[in-house]
Amino acid sequence: MKKILLFVFLVASFIYADLSVNQIRDMVTKIHEKREGIDLETLETTKEPFVRLQEENNITTFVIPEKAEETKLTLHAILNGKAYINNEWKRVEDTIGGFTLKYIGKKGVVLRNNNQIKKLFLHKERDNFIMIEGRK
C-alpha cells in the first residue's frame, strides 16, 4: 500500500510540475526588470515607522503615603448587650480604634468608620469536650 501511494505521489508531482522553458524564462525576466522606487521628496515627507526611545534625565519619584497603623480588633465575648473587644467592654455607639460600634448580635458585631465597615465574629471553639479520667 505504501509503495502504491509513493508511486502515485511521484507521478502526480511530475504531471503538475510541467513547466516549459518559456515559462521559466518569463519568470527570470520579470525578476531582472528594473523596479521603480519612491522619489526622494516623498520619502523624506513620510513618517518614520520606528519609535526612538529617548533617555530622560529627569527622575520622578512617587511618594506613597504611609497608612496609619490600625489597631487589631479582636472580639472575645458578647454578654448582656455588651461586646468584649480588645480587653474592654463596649456598648453600641462606643468607639474603639477609630471605629464606632453600631450593632451587637449573638455571634458578632459591626463597627463603622467614615467610609469603612468591619464585622467581627466570635471565634468558635470546639464544642466537643473530651472527658479524661484524672489520677486516682
- Residue 17 inside a domain? The answer is yes
> How far is Cα 136 from Cα 121, in angstroms, rounded to an integer?
41
Does residue 25 form part of some domain? yes
* Residue 37: inside a domain: no
The confidence band for 68, taking pLDDT boundaries of 50, 70 and 90, is low
Residue 18 lies in a domain: yes
* Pairwise CA distance, residues 85 & 76, whole Å: 6
- Is 44 exposed, middle or buried, given 0-12, 13-18 or 19+ CB atoms closer than 10 A? exposed
pLDDT in the model for residue 127: 54
- pLDDT over threshold 70, residue 130: no
Show the domain range for 90: 75-121
Task: Tell me the residue type at 109.
Answer: V
The count of domains in the chain is: 2
| Confidence grade of residue 89 (pLDDT, cut at 50, 70, 90) | very high
What are the backbone dihedrals phi and psi of residue 52, each rounded to the nearest 5 degrees, phi first?
A: -100, 130
- pTM for the complete prediction? 0.42
The answer to the question of residue 82 being in a domain is yes
87 Cβ contact partners less than 8 Å away, ≥ 6 residues apart = 76
Angle at 70 between CA 69 and CA 72, to 5 degrees: 130
Give the 3-state secondary structure of residue 120: strand
Task: Return the pLDDT at 28.
Answer: 85
